[in-house]
Amino acid sequence: MMLTLGTLMAAWGETTPQHGLVGLRPLPITAEQASKGNHGGSWAGCPTFDAQKGNYPFCAEHVDVIMGWLDGDFKTKRMFFEYYWGLDAGRDDLDPQKNLLIKTIRGWEAKGGKIEHILICREYDLAIHRGYPDAQPGPFKEDTRILFGKDVDDIRALFRNAHKAGLTKHDNYKLIQMVQHPTFFADDQRFLPILRKVDGIAYECHQFNRHWPLETGWSAPEKVVRGAKWT
């Protein structure tokens, strides 16, 4: 039931807490979702939160932040979610009444969610093969997940306009840039102007596909450590 996503994150301008946060990505949530999931391998037979309801009281009481889920036994309403920009023009419509990111925020806030941050990127490499033929990469071929600077500016303006229209609770939300390369963001000076526009960096690492085995995979420890030290 535990997290299958690893992140390295740097948030700017915040007081360092006295302890780390405990976060959880409930994956999969239901048996139906497990039977359909195939992200690097079948999820069939995985423990699910609906089946385990009532069996994890300590976890339910003490987890600080949840990814993309507010049901079940968890006491916290602090949460975050993952969002892909640049899949098609309709999703990215800058009219807050039509924009899917704003609709997603509204949906979580309507359930009582307190959005800590949004993991965001351009998911071109996968999306182009998964039903989004018009998906567009970011500005760097070395890491196509990275947003354009204009993307961030547009999203910030979208937040302000949505709040002004009474659609969301806040006029800004923290944007954490998800990256796929463990060190490009730290090594290439071209990324710095975009870095200054976002609130942090998240590196995604799985225990399967190109990330595994750890010693020889994409997420080789020395590269991940170098990126983490840079943050």
Q: Along the 231 residues of the chain, how does pLDDT read in single tens digits?
A: 333 334 444 444 445 555 555 555 655 566 676 666 655 566 666 666 666 778 888 888 888 888 888 877 888 999 999 999 999 999 999 999 999 999 999 999 999 999 999 999 999 998 999 899 999 999 999 999 999 999 999 999 999 999 999 999 999 999 999 999 888 998 999 999 999 999 999 887 766 666 667 677 776 777 777 777 765
pTM of the model: 0.83
Kindly report the backbone phi and psi dihedral angles of residue 106, in degrees, each rounded to the nearest multiple of 5, phi listed first: -60, -40
Domain ranges of the chain: 23-230
User: How far is residue 52's CA from residue 26's CA, in Å, rounded to a whole number?
Assistant: 12
